[in-house]
Amino acid sequence: GADILGMYPNSSHPVHPIVKFLGRLALRRAAALFAVSNYTAEKVRELGVEKHKIKVFPNGVDYHKFRRLKVRKAELLNRYHVQHHDAAILLTVSQFNQRKGIDTAINIVRDLKEAGHNIIYLIIGSGEAEADMIGLIEKYDLKDRVFILKGIDDETLIQFYNISDVFLLLSRQASDVNVEGFGIVFLEANACGLPVVAGNSGGIPDAVADGKSGFLVDPLDTQQIREKIIYLLQHPAEAKQMGEYGRKRVETNYNWPKITQDMLVHLNGIVKKT
């Protein structure tokens, strides 16, 4: 696999011009190219690669690992010093950078709190924007509502997916090449039966079935985002149905054995033609 972002003329990625030239040449001369989303496939086509050479194969999820579990919610929250055990839980799992839209999510949590909604927001991850996030939490006096959790292993992460009510990630497109290529965390959340609210950017629409496994939203439209969150919290039966649909969708379309088999069939077809 390779990151194609540095191949673009206007890319801010630190790639030597010779490496950039050779990379684009290699892409054009390849017998076949696999992209993780339709968005990524389109970006590859823009680099001059013939359309028939490009095939979309998404990322997959181990749905035997990411699954519904019975979790002692209060015990888990106490372990990480999280207050308000009776509150609805919004969850983000992400690197902390400006493109992820966590700042927008914190602003929305402030609005929801002021409107009287009993919620907490858990943010799992780490990254360069952590100081900015802490600044917003302190500015809006949300230290008892927004919690940054770091060093979370997969076993514990799956438990957090299972106790949450909505998975929220408002990724936005900083530029044509600074964007989500896919969005595997949405599939992880769905595999655990959790509905999602996702920023409609980059390759994320491939990962989220809008209105079925969750909602795609304009990552800058705070009113729309609030409405979707409130809808899921106030309609638990529909939210559960979305989570169940997302789980079945992962089992059917995003399991690694199926994806691997599809890749092998495609590669065998290419080999037979050469």
Same domain membership, residue 105 and residue 240: yes
> Which residue range forms the structural domain that includes residue 201?
73-253
pLDDT at 269 (0 to 100): 87
Same domain membership, residue 235 and residue 264: no
Q: 247 in a domain, yes or no?
A: yes
Q: 66 in a domain, yes or no?
A: no
Q: Residues of the chain with pLDDT > 90: what percent?
A: 78
* pLDDT digits 0-9 by tens, 197-235: 999 999 999 999 999 999 999 999 999 999 999 999 999
Residue 176 binned pLDDT confidence (cut-offs 50, 70, 90): low
263, 34 contact by CB (below 8 A): yes
Same domain membership, residue 243 and residue 176: yes
- Rounded mean pLDDT of 164-190? 90
Q: 64 in a domain, yes or no?
A: no
Q: 47 in a domain, yes or no?
A: yes
**CATH at residue 135:** 3.40.50.2000
Same domain membership, residue 50 and residue 78: no
Both tokens of 29, joined, read 């001369």
Both tokens of 99, joined, read 């493109």
DSSP 178: B
pTM: 0.89
Same domain membership, residue 238 and residue 120: yes
pLDDT at 194 (0 to 100): 99
Same domain membership, residue 267 and residue 184: no
The residues near 193 (Cβ < 8 Å, ≥ 6 apart) are 68, 162, 240, 243, 244, 246, 247
- Give the integer Cα–Cα distance in Å for 68 and 5: 36
Q: 229 in a domain, yes or no?
A: yes
Alpha helices in 72-170 (DSSP H): 73-79, 102-114, 130-139, 154-163
Q: 63 in a domain, yes or no?
A: no
Same domain membership, residue 240 and residue 113: yes
* pLDDT digits 0-9 by tens, 21-36: 666 676 777 878 899 9
Same domain membership, residue 83 and residue 202: yes
Same domain membership, residue 149 and residue 45: no
Q: 138 in a domain, yes or no?
A: yes
Same domain membership, residue 127 and residue 231: yes
Same domain membership, residue 49 and residue 95: no
pLDDT at 27 (0 to 100): 76
Q: 158 in a domain, yes or no?
A: yes
pLDDT at 31 (0 to 100): 78
pLDDT at 1 over 70: no
Same domain membership, residue 157 and residue 45: no
* pLDDT digits 0-9 by tens, 43-64: 889 888 889 889 999 999 999 9
